[in-house]
């Protein structure tokens, strides 16, 4: 229970919360400079998200992939790996889920839907495991390989959709069989047809899994040991290479699931993408914001989803270009990364009490 | 000269950190031309005090006077301005830069917009000649020896006009020859009018070189004495707070069967050069075999080969009659091999793990710590509680990160973990490096206790004193080979030194 308490101690969260406030403040200044009304803009942003049930439901839908890609990046980071390839892993997972959803017909929903979800996670995981394998066996830097694998994944996904799943004359695949859908129909009713799906629940389970696996299991102990000091881990008889591959696999499963849910829960089909949807890169920002802690990632994804979804409201209500939200997000990440600035601003509020710790 | 105003005077310096008083009303006077040793165990507060003098910390109470004038040193730049320079234990050098570039870094002589390297190199050469600090101004840091890197650090402080030099544990990383050179340099510096504060816990060096010693224990000054009026055992007692024996007590060994047998082991590095070239020896139950040698003659590679971290190309390594060469590390550990690694930060501990997590680093996967794939927090904590009591590991709690323990306590934690596994063979690589007298005594006693229980102990050390005092038998390693075996009572430093340098061979005195 001690660890649990530590996760929720105020101190850990003061910096991120302050960074968020300062980020919003920077956004407000930019709006003022541009001649917009920041108070109106932010209130329209929040009205957009919390204004009615449909938008609230859609905002939750928007947050789900951020939770999972955030977890993917954070998990790899715990083993000392920088997984920039969540984007490619997501697309490969998505494609696998779409493929199963369209081609495996005649199955009852309680087999078909889970099968499609598992296919998405599995293929995302295997895609990432290739990166882990190259790192473990050949010592190739995972940053380089995972970026390259993003492109391979991107064109690979489009190839599969184009050649096997396309509705002729369009730029998208057929719809998945209804038995593969993971929409929650009774909830979509309540939320005014917002596209809510079971994937959100699985994402929450993934948050808990992340925590339990890393801090409560034998395997998680190994992953953390490898992440903090691979030399000592090797000396202690932990197989460093195997742990790198395993960690990348689990990281990729998170990303792959994010992709699968976008098709099985949200769109019901997969597009031929002109450019990557970018969820994997947003995941890096979310992991950074959540300080690589699973519960932090969850909160960060909620914030990230709120800002992204609410940005549309901002342009309706206050005429502010929705891109301005990117400035806010950028500023927040900047303040998280440059914690010194935040502590400096907070200094007078903290008083002397904290001084030793800051040093 | 000593009667004059002290060049630095600390008055009643107190520094508190949350939970502890690191310096408790410490006063100290450094006179011109003096080497003033600051003696204390790890964690006694020496480094904190010197960080205050160098401007890295601010004292909570007390004042500092330089040349009789009260000063406030609020940054290292201010300290440098006042003529105070610090030679850090861990060098602060840019590896790919040359010696000159490192020395002038931040204070480059300019010629227009360009750095005037020519005059810089001349100045470096001038300083190095004046103080007998032999360096090559154009060599890159990564290509020069540790001893020369240290000389670069010294010139760096002199280049900045330091008159007062603080040496923080300067001999911890040096070979015996380099230590002797450093001693000469320090004498030269004071003869040229510099004053030196020497932070150390090595009594031998203090007796050899210092004029005055201030002993600190738990943040308080215990005493300040003239070196000529004291003895090593007196100093040790003041430092540790109890009587310390230097002679290692041990009974005659009861030698049993062969535990580890290494025969004709050859191992090549990735360039194809043999780092172990036909190396053979054996360790028997109930004895301590000491491996003596100059750093870099294959000691690290030998340990790696035995513990499974390095593949061998030829030969065999038998543990209790079973071949263990080229097995994965965990398989070897399970054969009853425990290992106290050379670099405890790199290989011995996961510094950001808690003490309790570190204490199960090699056993976490076995019951009771592993219960069906989950960690059993209760068993892990009980184990930690038991070991820190049994081995007197001083830590605020078992949840403290290993990083915040002192070096001696980190080492104790490693030893606790390794001995608790009840090994048949204990490999101890440089087990007392960087430790203070009290901790050294503890570590050596533990090694002997293992041997008295009938275990085999393999001790690898660069400290000849340690090899001579602790071992029952000594093997000398040179260029990846055992070049001789001797008994400690039948040899002396000189003979060992010659063997370590590869100029004398003596084989199998006791084995025939």
- Tell which A residues from 207 to 266 touch B, by Cβ distance under 8 Å: 216-221, 224-225, 228-229, 231-239
Chain B residues touching residue A235 (CB < 8 angstroms): 307, 309, 329, 339, 341, 347-348
User: Region A64-81: what's the mean pLDDT?
Assistant: 95
| Distance separating alpha carbons of residues B253 and B239, to the nearest angstrom | 32
What would the 3-class secondary structure string for chain A be? CHHHHHHCCHHHHHHHHHHHHHHHHHHHHHHHHCCCCHHHHHHHHHHHHHCCHHHHHHHHHHHHHHHHHHHHHHHHHHCCCCCCCHHHHHHHHHHHHHHHHHHCCCCCHHHHHHHHHHHHHHHHHHHHHHHHHHHHHHCCCHHHHHHHHHHHHHHHHHHHHHHHHECCCCCEECCCCHHHCCECHHHHHHCCCCCCEHHHHHHHHHHHHHHHHHHHEHHHHHHHHHHHCHHHHHHCCCCHHHHHHHHHHHHHHHHHHHHHHHHHHHHCCCECCCCCCCHHHHHHHHHHHCCCCHHHHHHHHHHHHHHHHHHHHHHHHHCCCCCHHHHHHHHHHHHHHCHHHHHHHHHHHHCHHHHHHHC
> What confidence score (pLDDT) does residue A12 get?
64
Q: Contacts of residue A227 in chain B, CB cutoff 8 Å?
A: none
Q: What was the ipTM of the complex prediction? A: 0.81
Give pLDDT, residue B2: 44
B-chain CB neighbours of A214 within 8 Å are: none
B372–chain A nearest CA distance, Å: 9
Distance, CA of B279 to CA of B276 (rounded, Å) = 6
What class has domain B8-240?
alpha beta
Q: Do A221 and B357 touch (CB under 8 A)?
A: yes
For residue A354, pLDDT over 50 is answered with: no
Q: What is the least distance, in Å, from the CA of A356 to any CA of chain B?
A: 7
* Cβ pair A157, A95 in contact under 8 A: yes
pLDDT, residue B506, reads: 56
Sign of the Cα pseudo-torsion (B310, B315, B319, B323, in order): positive
pLDDT in tens, B309-355: 899 999 999 999 999 999 999 999 999 999 999 888 889 999 999 99
Q: Which tokens is A265 given?
A: 């829960």
Helix (H) or strand (E) holding B438: helix B437-452
User: B309–A234: do the CB atoms touch at under 8 Å?
Assistant: yes
DSSP letter, residue B284: E
- pLDDT at residue B413 greater than cutoff 70: yes
- Radius of gyration (C-alpha) of chain A in whole angstroms: 21
Interchain proximity A235–B348, CB inside 8 Å: yes
**3-class SS of residue B463:** coil
Of the residues A77, A228, A236, the best mutation for testing chain B's interface (the one with the most B CB atoms within 10 Å of its CB) is A236
User: Which two structure tokens, joined as six digits, stand for B281?
Assistant: 């020896």
The Cα–Cα gap between B157 and B87 comes to 7
Hey, of A226, A235, A241, which one would you mutate to test binding to chain B, going by the most B CBs within 10 A of its CB?
Answer: A235
pLDDT digits (tens, 9 = 90+) for B277-319: 999 999 999 999 999 887 778 888 999 999 998 999 999 999 9
Identical fold at B8-240 and B245-336+423-512?
yes
Q: How far is CA B157 from the centre of its chain?
A: 23
- Asked whether residue A170 carries a pLDDT value surpassing 80, the answer given is yes
Q: Which helix (H) or strand (E) holds B222?
A: strand B220-226
* pLDDT tens digits along B116-135: 888 888 989 998 888 888 88
> Position of tokens 């610090």?
B86
Collapsing DSSP to helix, strand or coil, B71 comes out as strand
A and B: number of Cβ contacts within 8 A: 62
For B414-459, what is each residue's pLDDT tens digit? 999 999 999 999 999 989 877 777 788 888 999 999 999 999 999 9
User: What does the pLDDT read at residue B293?
Assistant: 84
The string over A180-203, giving b where at least 16 C-beta atoms fall within 10 Å of a residue's C-beta and e elsewhere, is bbbbbeebbeebeebbbbbbbebb
Residue with tokens 């890159």: B140
SS3 B503: coil
Maximum CA extent, chain B: 76
Strands (DSSP E) found in B44-112: 61-66, 69-71, 84-87, 110-111
Residue A67, pLDDT > 70, answer: yes
Sorting pLDDT into bands at 50, 70 and 90, what band is B37? very high
Determine, for residues B350 and A239 on separate chains, whether the beta-carbon distance falls below 8 Å: no
At residue A349, the pLDDT reads 66
What CATH number labels B245-336+423-512?
Answer: 3.40.50.300
Q: What rounded mean pLDDT belongs to chain A?
A: 89
Quote the pLDDT of residue A161: 94
Residue A355's pLDDT band, with cuts at 50, 70 and 90, is very low
Contact A37, A354 (CB under 8 A): no
Q: For residue B286, is it left (φ>0), alpha (ψ between -120 and 50) or beta? A: left
Cβ contact B330–A229 (<8 Å):
no
Average pLDDT, chain B: 87
**Least confident stretch, A130-134, B141-145, B211-215:** B141-145
Rounded mean pLDDT of B22-41?
90
Beta-bridge partners for B412 = none
């Amino acid at each position: 229970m001690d660890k649990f308490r530590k996760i929720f101690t105020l101190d850990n969260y003061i910096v991120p919360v302050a960074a968020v406030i300062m980020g919003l403040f920077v956004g407000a200044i930019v709006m003022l400079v541009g001649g917009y009304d920041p108070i109106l803009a932010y209130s329209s942003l929040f009205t957009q998200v919390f204004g009615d049930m449909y938008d609230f439901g859609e905002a939750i839908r928007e947050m789900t992939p951020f939770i999972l890609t955030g977890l993917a990046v954070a998990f790899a980071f715990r083993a000392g790996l920088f997984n920039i390839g969540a984007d490619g892993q997501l697309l490969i997972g998505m494609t696998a889920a779409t493929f199963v959803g369209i081609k495996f017909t005649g199955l009852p929903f309680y087999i078909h839907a889970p099968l499609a979800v598992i296919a998405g996670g599995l293929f995302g995981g295997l895609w990432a495991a290739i990166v882990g394998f190259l790192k473990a066996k050949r010592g190739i830097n995972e940053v380089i390989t995972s970026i390259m694998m993003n492109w391979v994944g991107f064109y690979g996904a489009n190839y599969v959709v184009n050649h096997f799943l396309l509705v002729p004359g369009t730029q998208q695949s057929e719809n998945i069989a209804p038995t593969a859908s993971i929409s929650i129909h009774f909830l979509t009713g309540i939320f005014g047809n917002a596209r809510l799906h079971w994937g959100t629940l699985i994402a929450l389970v993934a948050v808990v899994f992340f925590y339990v696996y890393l801090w409560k299991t034998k395997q998680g102990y190994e992953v953390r040991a490898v992440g903090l000091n691979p030399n000592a881990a090797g000396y202690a008889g932990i197989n460093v290479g195997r742990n790198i591959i395993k960690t990348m696999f689990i990281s990729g499963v998170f990303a792959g699931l994010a992709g699968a849910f976008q098709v099985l829960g949200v769109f019901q089909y997969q597009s031929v993408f002109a450019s990557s949807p970018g969820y994997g890169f947003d995941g890096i920002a979310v992991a950074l914001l959540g300080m690589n802690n699973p519960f932090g990632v969850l909160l960060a994804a909620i914030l990230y989803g709120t800002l992204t979804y609410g940005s549309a409201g901002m342009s309706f209500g206050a005429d502010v270009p929705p891109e301005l939200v990117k400035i806010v997000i950028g500023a927040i990440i900047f303040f998280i990364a440059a914690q010194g600035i935040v502590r400096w601003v907070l200094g007078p509020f903290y008083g002397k009490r904290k001084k030793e710790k800051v040093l | 000269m000593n009667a004059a105003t002290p060049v630095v005077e600390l008055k009643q310096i107190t520094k508190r950190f949350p939970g502890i008083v690191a310096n408790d009303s410490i006063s100290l006077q450094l006179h011109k031309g003096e080497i003033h040793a600051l003696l204390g165990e790890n964690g006694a507060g020496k480094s904190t005090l010197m960080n205050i003098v160098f401007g890295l910390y601010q004292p909570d109470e007390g004042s500092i006077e330089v040349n009789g004038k009260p000063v406030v040193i609020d940054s290292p730049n201010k300290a440098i301005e006042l003529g105070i320079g610090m030679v850090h234990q861990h060098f602060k050098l840019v590896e790919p830069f040359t010696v000159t570039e490192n020395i002038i870094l931040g204070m480059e002589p300019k010629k227009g917009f360009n750095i005037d390297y020519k005059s810089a190199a001349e100045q470096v050469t001038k300083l190095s000649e004046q103080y007998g600090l032999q360096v090559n101004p154009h060599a890159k840091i990564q290509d020069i020896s540790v001893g020369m890197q240290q000389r670069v650090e010294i010139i760096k402080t002199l280049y900045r006009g330091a008159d007062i030099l603080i040496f923080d544990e300067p001999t911890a990383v040096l070979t015996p020859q380099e230590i002797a050179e450093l001693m000469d340099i320090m004498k030269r510096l004071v003869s040229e009018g510099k004053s030196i504060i020497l932070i150390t816990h090595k009594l031998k060096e203090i007796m050899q070189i210092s004029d005055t010693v201030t002993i600190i224990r738990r943040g308080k000054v215990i005493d300040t004495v003239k070196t000529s009026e004291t003895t090593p055992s007196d100093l040790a007692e003041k430092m540790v707070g109890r009587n310390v024996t230097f002679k290692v007590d041990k009974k005659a060994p009861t030698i049993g069967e062969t535990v580890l047998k290494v025969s004709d082991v050859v191992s090549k590095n990735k360039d194809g050069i043999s780092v172990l070239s036909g190396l053979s020896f054996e360790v028997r139950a109930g004895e301590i075999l000491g491996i003596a040698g100059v750093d870099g003659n294959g000691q690290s590679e030998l340990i790696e080969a035995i513990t499974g971290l390095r593949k061998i190309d030829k030969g065999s390594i038998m543990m209790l009659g079973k071949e263990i060469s080229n097995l994965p590390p965990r398989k070897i550990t399970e054969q009853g091999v425990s290992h106290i690694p050379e670099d405890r930060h790199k290989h011995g501990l996961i510094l950001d793990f808690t003490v309790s997590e570190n204490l199960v680093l090699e056993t976490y996967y076995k019951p009771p710590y592993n219960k069906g794939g989950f960690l059993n927090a209760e068993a892990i904590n009980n184990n930690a509680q038991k070991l820190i009591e049994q081995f007197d590991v001083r830590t605020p709690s078992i949840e403290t990160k290993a990083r915040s323990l002192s070096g001696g306590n980190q080492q104790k934690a490693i030893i606790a973990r390794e001995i608790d596994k009840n090994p048949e063979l204990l490999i101890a690589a440089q087990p007392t490096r960087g430790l203070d007298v009290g901790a050294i005594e503890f570590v050596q006693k533990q090694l002997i206790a293992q041997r008295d229980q009938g275990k085999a102990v393999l001790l690898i050390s660069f400290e000849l004193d340690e090899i001579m005092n602790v071992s029952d038998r000594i093997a000398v390693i040179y260029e990846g080979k055992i070049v001789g075996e001797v008994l400690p009572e039948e040899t002396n430093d000189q003979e060992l030194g010659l063997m370590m340098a590869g100029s004398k061979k003596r084989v199998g005195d006791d084995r025939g």
